[in-house]
């Protein structure tokens, strides 16, 4: 006279057990993967030309680097000015 289980011991049916598309319906992997660019990029980044890695790809990298530096310096100056203004007593 053991206790009866409250919850059914049967496994529920799998909901996500099957794929919605058959493998024959999927496109070929070559159509969307493209060419492997890693070996070309490795050659570019390992070239001993004296440039830092973040500037090796030319003009776009230089533009991004200079924009980032300008925003950083501008933000630092803005913070310092705001701190200076906040530290001054207000005239009444």
Q: Which CATH superfamily is domain 51-91 in?
A: Cytochrome c oxidase, subunit VIIa (4.10.91.10)
Write out the two tokens for 9.
């011991």
Q: Which of 36, 35, 55 is CA-nearest to residue 45?
A: 55
pTM of the full predicted structure?
0.53
pLDDT score at 5: 65
Domain map (residue ranges) of the chain: 51-91
Residue 22 confidence class, pLDDT cut points 50, 70, 90: low
Mean pLDDT value of segment 35-46: 90
C-alpha 15/C-alpha 12 separation (Å) is 9
Q: How many percent of the chain have pLDDT more than 70?
A: 73
Overall average pLDDT of the 73-82 stretch: 98
More confidently predicted of 34 and 23: 34
Residues ≥6 apart with Cβ < 8 Å to 53: 45
What is the arithmetic mean of pLDDT over 26-31?
56
Instruction: Say whether pLDDT at 15 is over 90.
Output: no
Please tell me the predicted confidence (pLDDT) of residue 20.
62
């Amino acid at each position: 006279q053991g206790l009866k289980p409250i919850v059914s011991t049967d496994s529920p049916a799998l909901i996500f057990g099957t794929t919605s598309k058959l493998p024959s319906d999927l496109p070929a992997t070559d159509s969307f993967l493209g060419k492997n660019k890693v070996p070309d990029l490795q050659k570019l980044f390992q070239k001993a030309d004296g440039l830092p890695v973040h500037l090796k790809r030319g003009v776009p990298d230089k533009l991004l680097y200079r924009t980032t530096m300008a925003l950083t310096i501008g933000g630092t100056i803005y913070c310092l000015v705001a701190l200076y203004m906040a530290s001054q007593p207000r005239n009444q």
